Chain A
Amino acid sequence: MTLLNKTTVYLKIVLISLILINITACSDDDDPIAPEEHHFEAIGTVIYNATGAIDVSILRGTTTDTLYAVVGERSDHFEVKFYDENENIIEPPDEEHSSMAYEIEDSQIATGWQHEGEEGEFEFHIDGLKTGITTIEIFVKHDDHNDYRSGLIPLKVVSK
């Protein structure tokens, strides 16, 4: 082969290879990336009792307040709101993907309860099981991950 022919063959191979790489380029069209969504932002939590008074205020993970429940009783409902970054009280997120969750450290002392069909709403009750002190933490969930967590809030169960 002459140098020209060799060069032509070589360039042909290079060109076709690059075209083929382009045509068969790795693709993940069948697995699109999860969309970026709006996330709720807060720096604190306010828990109101059934009378509308504030029982607990926790800001930047710190509080001096305690939530109370009584052994053998289901508390009245508690309503949850939040502080924004300017420490103004704001309503909970009203989005399809957002919900509330809570975690009680010692479930022998108390458990949480929500009305059937209202699971994930920003209201809850406490069932006192035995006297003692534990903690409760409030979460704002976005689908299955936490957009926000309150920090630990003391929860005391007392006898009647």
Chain B
Amino acid sequence: MIYILKRRVFITLFFLILVQSGFAQKSTITGLVVDYYTNEPVSEAVVKSVEIERFTTTDFEGKFKLLVNSNFSTLTLETTHLAYKESIFQISKSQSEEEKVLIYLLPKTLELDKVLVSDYKIFSKFDDLKEISMVLKGKELQRHLGITLASTLKNEIGLAIRSMGPAPARPVIRGMGSNRVFISEDGNKTIDLSATSPDHAVTIDPFNLNRIEILRGPKVLTKTSVSTGGIINVVKNEIPVEQHGHPIVALGTYGESVNRGFLMSGLLEIPFNNFALRGEISERKSFNLNTPLGKLNNSSSENLNFSFGGSYFLNNGFIGVSFKKFDLDYGVPGGFIGAHPNGVDISMFREQLKFKSQLKFNHSIIEKIEFSFVHALYRHKEFENKGTIGSEFRIVNNNGFINLSHTKFGFLNNGLIGISFEHRDFDIGGFVFTSPAISINSSAYLYEYFTLNNFTFEFSSRYNFSIINPENKTFSSQIGNIRKRDFQTYSFSFSTLYELTKKVHLGFNINKSSRVPTIEELYSKGPHLAAYSYEIGNPDLENEHGIGAELFIYHKLDNLYFNINLFRNDFSYYIIPRATGEINYQTFLPIYKTIGTEALFYGIEKMFEWKPSNNLRISNSISYTRGKFKNSETSLPQIPPLKGNFVINYYNSFLSGGLETEWASKQNKVDEFEDPTASYIIFNTFMQFSISKNSIVHNLSFSVDNIFDKEYYNHLSRIKSILPEAGRNFKLTYKLYYNL
């Protein structure tokens, strides 16, 4: 009760203070958006004021009205529409209270460059080229929605899923999992234990995401020191970063047959003077998963997820806060060697308070300053029998960053420098033998982007200092001297892109990656009930480090896009928990020992997307990773097989439908004590409808996954020895957007 009161006091006080700080005078920009060739009005175009992050949409007559503060001198308007090319231009303030503008949009069928008047974004050519292959958004995101973030991303190039049942699933990039894949929400690290063990779930529900970005290359070092992995950033804007011209309501529901799962969701965003308030709630429930060979017992889950936040918009930025709670109960199936016969139940929650602010400086070298602070509490309980705690974890985490972005400075086009910090109090209880520990991390980083003739360059570096201080400093006969450790690491990444023609770009990247070992990797010494393993850490571990290199080709036309990446990551010290083949005779659990070893990863990724006509799209992706112990042909454990997909998609402004295949070759390049996995191919189909009437947009997606109920196995699933992946699955997603 006291806790709820504290929340209310917090939110009330925050907004009272903001209200007291005053309201600015308003002026109005009205305008008309029309087709460049036909002069016909364009409805449903989005007109956005870039500086103040506020936008509105045009009505059926192509008209719009945008409220802005009256003391602007120039304002950049960005206009976008699905069927038209983006238009960006600046307007200067006149004497009038009301500015009137006329915007022409060029249809996308014409091959012309963007109308770009003002270069204002930290958005490099690398981002532009990767937009197709590395970003999931809009209808594409809605079509791929799954029960978890990992299942939503399963067909993205270079990605695989490590899982232990439907709920505990985490993405793996190029064979690298754990915290080599940095998962963030709106740019802030997601606080949970999903990186440490396969039975731990990611505390993100994918349903209400605006966009999922998979980041690789130099920009990765602005968030993590692991340059060989990648970042999966989900964009929700729980703290609104731009102000709509009107309130928005979004309602959604989701259902799937394979686990009789369903979800209900609601989202509301209200602009109010200089404020934008946002609230969101979703509830999901699923039952045991059906597979072609029967039901997977103890694989149900239940999730409640809500957040509310608000921003106050200044003339040159915003300042905002949010609170969120993510509550998830799920089962980890049992019944295989080393596992509990009936599985283990896990109950977890994350509460998070977040503060974020961004200030922009027009006509200055310093483009903007961004500041963010997050306080999070994560609790996690594992139950052997109903109501009895087997093991328990708690994290209290405070983290934040300050980023300073600059515009053109000397030969540099743009870039940023920043610092970040993290304090993590990790407590453990129950039948777990790992010592509680406090870790502190601070980092400084730099990212720069510049061009020279036909070359484009990106460069970044990161310095990281970490202290890990275990509570129980002692000597263990099992793992050695448990003691305080500190680590200093350096990472860098450099990419260049050569514009062979306007449509073809060649590039390469070289990087040095480093990673501080986790508390579990250092100090574990006992059974992990839900992971069904007996884990032995290594307090003498060094930081993980290696050199990565990548060659890539991008070919981008309006109707044809393809890219090929060749990569090689050479680790002189790679940390893995490796099955020893031994059994702990106290618990009869298989022993996994953490080791640092030389390792080599290499592979190829290919993606193409071809639009033979205005309504047809054919796409295909292939990913291959080979991971092995260096100077040996012995394979590393948990490396995904050669895999890919093929999609034929017919679409128009009203509907989109198609067929998709997912396939993987057999994986017989396995570590000792690891089982091989057979090849498979499955077929899916999908249909999507969009209806827009007045201010309401309805989006409906219907799909059937694994149409032929094929028995197939995910090589990275820890439970593949008991049952295969999901059987035939009918999925229905409905989303309604209402612009009030």
Distance, CA A111 to CA B353, complexed state (A): 55
B344 to chain A, nearest CB (A): 11
Could you say which of A36, A39, A59, A144 contacts B388, with CB atoms under 8 Å apart?
A144
Interface window among A23-31, A68-76, A113-121: A23-31
Contact with A along B380-393 (1 / 0, CB 8 A): 00001100111010
Contact A16 B17 (CB under 8 A): yes
Closest A residue, CB atoms, query B13:
A20
Q: Which of A120-157 contact B (CB under 8 A)?
A: 142-149, 151
Could you say which of A26, A33, A43, A149 contacts B429, with CB atoms under 8 Å apart?
A33
Contact A151 B588 (CB under 8 A): yes
Interface window among B1-9, B55-63, B507-515, B641-649: B1-9
Contact with B along A2-29 (1 / 0, CB 8 A): 0000100110111011101111111110
B529 contact set on A, CB distance < 8 A: 145
Q: Which of B536-589 contact A (CB under 8 A)?
A: 583, 585-588
Distance, CA A59 to CA B314, complexed state (A): 72
Contact B10 A24 (CB under 8 A): yes
Closest A residue, CB atoms, query B430:
A34
Distance, CA A145 to CA B528, complexed state (A): 12
Contact B586 A145 (CB under 8 A): no
Contact with A along B329-354 (1 / 0, CB 8 A): 00000000000000000000001110
B358 to chain A, nearest CB (A): 11
Q: Which of B282-334 contact A (CB under 8 A)?
A: 312, 314-315, 319, 321
Distance, CA A39 to CA B351, complexed state (A): 32
Closest B residue, CB atoms, query A44:
B585
Contact A144 B384 (CB under 8 A): yes
Contact B7 A24 (CB under 8 A): yes
The answer to whether residues A17 and B585 also contact, given A26-B351, A28-B394, A142-B431 and a CB cut-off of 8 A, is no
Interface window among B137-145, B192-200, B371-379, B621-629: B371-379
Distance, CA A59 to CA B355, complexed state (A): 57
Contact A6 B10 (CB under 8 A): no
Contact B587 A146 (CB under 8 A): yes
What is the total number of residues of chain A having a CB less than 8 Å from a CB of chain B?
42
Contact B319 A27 (CB under 8 A): no
Contact A21 B373 (CB under 8 A): yes
A142 contact set on B, CB distance < 8 A: 431
Confirm or deny: A67 has a beta carbon within 8 angstroms of a beta carbon on chain B.
no
Most chain A beta-carbon contacts within 10 A, residue among B428, B529, B585: B585
Could you say which of A10, A28, A149 contacts B359, with CB atoms under 8 Å apart?
A10
Closest B residue, CB atoms, query A58:
B585
Confirm or deny: A42 has a beta carbon within 8 angstroms of a beta carbon on chain B.
yes
Closest A residue, CB atoms, query B312:
A13
Confirm or deny: B440 has a beta carbon within 8 angstroms of a beta carbon on chain A.
no
The answer to whether residues A36 and B429 also contact, given A24-B7, A145-B390, A147-B586 and a CB cut-off of 8 A, is yes
The answer to whether residues A26 and B375 also contact, given A33-B429, A36-B432 and a CB cut-off of 8 A, is yes
B399 to chain A, nearest CB (A): 12
A17 contact set on B, CB distance < 8 A: 14, 319, 321, 355
Confirm or deny: B18 has a beta carbon within 8 angstroms of a beta carbon on chain A.
yes
Contact A36 B428 (CB under 8 A): yes
Question: Looking at chain B, what size class is its interface with the partner chain?
Answer: 35 or more
The answer to whether residues A21 and B321 also contact, given A34-B389, A34-B392 and a CB cut-off of 8 A, is yes
Contact with B along A35-47 (1 / 0, CB 8 A): 1100101111000
A10 contact set on B, CB distance < 8 A: 314, 319, 357, 359
Could you say which of B314, B379, B587 contacts A28, with CB atoms under 8 Å apart?
B379
Contact A61 B377 (CB under 8 A): no
Closest B residue, CB atoms, query A152:
B588
Contact B352 A26 (CB under 8 A): yes
Distance, CA A61 to CA B583, complexed state (A): 10
A42 contact set on B, CB distance < 8 A: 586
Contact A144 B375 (CB under 8 A): no
Contact B353 A13 (CB under 8 A): no
A33 contact set on B, CB distance < 8 A: 392, 394, 427-429
Could you say which of A9, A28, A36, A148 contacts B586, with CB atoms under 8 Å apart?
A148
Contact A35 B371 (CB under 8 A): no
Closest B residue, CB atoms, query A137:
B588
A28 contact set on B, CB distance < 8 A: 377, 379, 394
Contact with B along A99-121 (1 / 0, CB 8 A): 00000000000000000000000
A113 to chain B, nearest CB (A): 23
A151 contact set on B, CB distance < 8 A: 585, 588
B379 contact set on A, CB distance < 8 A: 28, 31
Confirm or deny: B21 has a beta carbon within 8 angstroms of a beta carbon on chain A.
yes
A25 to chain B, nearest CB (A): 5
A71 to chain B, nearest CB (A): 29
The answer to whether residues A24 and B9 also contact, given A6-B314, A14-B371, A61-B585 and a CB cut-off of 8 A, is yes
A159 to chain B, nearest CB (A): 32
Distance, CA A24 to CA B323, complexed state (A): 11
Contact A34 B377 (CB under 8 A): no
Contact A26 B587 (CB under 8 A): no
Distance, CA A13 to CA B680, complexed state (A): 57
B428 contact set on A, CB distance < 8 A: 33, 36
Contact B17 A13 (CB under 8 A): yes
Most chain B beta-carbon contacts within 10 A, residue among A6, A10, A23, A151: A10
Contact with A along B427-452 (1 / 0, CB 8 A): 11111110010000000000000000
* Sampled A-B contacts (16; CB under 8 Å): A6-B315, A14-B319, A16-B14, A18-B373, A22-B375, A24-B10, A26-B376, A33-B394, A36-B428, A36-B429, A36-B432, A61-B583, A144-B384, A145-B529, A149-B588, A151-B585
* 9 shortest interchain CB distances as A-B pairs: A34-B429, A26-B377, A144-B388, A33-B429, A26-B351, A60-B585, A24-B10, A24-B6, A34-B430
What 10 new A-B contacts, CB under 8 Å, besides A16-B14, A23-B10, A146-B384?
A1-B22, A6-B314, A14-B357, A18-B355, A24-B7, A34-B389, A36-B436, A142-B431, A145-B431, A148-B586
